[in-house]
């Protein structure tokens, strides 16, 4: 499996999560900053479901439709799997897999054809989500900076 993401990048997600929670209703700036930070991760991690040779990412049911659970680190995916009761009883192993960025965006976008609505971040710890239809916007942010911001996305 891929190496874990930088603890500093992951910690910044927690800070941005607090900013989203503190933002006034209708203010999306913090939410945009959070998802920009997600695009800076080297790998996106998933709890594997199904056969080991054809794993599918764990998803949860939401009012809008199924949402794939994306994790910012292997350790957060592992913690979530235990918290959600998804660990394999024999030794508490948790099957995980990582997909490098930006290929992870295309990987997830393909699930739209099977009825997946969106992606939720670090469920149940953070839980913010983005519709699959908006993943292309994230990919565009990787390719070019926002006007007036540096190549590092500000």
Distances (CA, A) of 48 to 11, 54, 83, 98, 118: 24, 9, 15, 10, 17
- Cis peptide bond prior to 124, omega within 30° of 0: yes
Which pLDDT tens digit goes with each residue over 45-93? 999 999 989 999 999 999 999 999 999 999 999 999 989 988 776 666 7
What angle, 0 to 180 degrees and rounded to 10, lies between the N-to-C axes of helices 135-143 and 29-40?
70
What's the whole-number mean pLDDT along residues 124-130?
A: 91
Domains in the chain, CATH or no CATH each: 7-143 (3.40.1350.90)
Task: Indicate the pTM of the whole model.
Answer: 0.86
pLDDT over 50 at 98, yes or no: yes
pLDDT of 149 reads: 41
């Amino acid at each position: 499996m891929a190496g874990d993401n930088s603890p500093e990048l992951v910690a910044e997600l927690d800070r941005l999560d607090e900013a989203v929670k503190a933002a006034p209703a209708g203010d999306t700036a913090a939410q945009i900053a959070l998802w920009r930070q997600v695009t800076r991760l080297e790998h996106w991690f998933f709890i594997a479901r199904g056969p080991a040779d054809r794993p599918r990412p764990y998803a949860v049911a939401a009012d809008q439709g199924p949402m794939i659970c994306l994790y910012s680190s292997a350790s957060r995916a592992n913690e979530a799997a235990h918290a959600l009761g998804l660990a394999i009883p024999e030794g508490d192993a948790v099957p995980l897999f990582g997909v490098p960025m930006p290929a992870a965006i295309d990987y997830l976008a393909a699930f739209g054809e099977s009825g997946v609505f969106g992606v939720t971040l670090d469920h149940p710890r953070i839980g913010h989500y983005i519709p699959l239809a908006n993943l292309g916007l994230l990919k565009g942010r990787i390719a070019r900076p926002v006007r007036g911001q540096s190549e590092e996305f500000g």
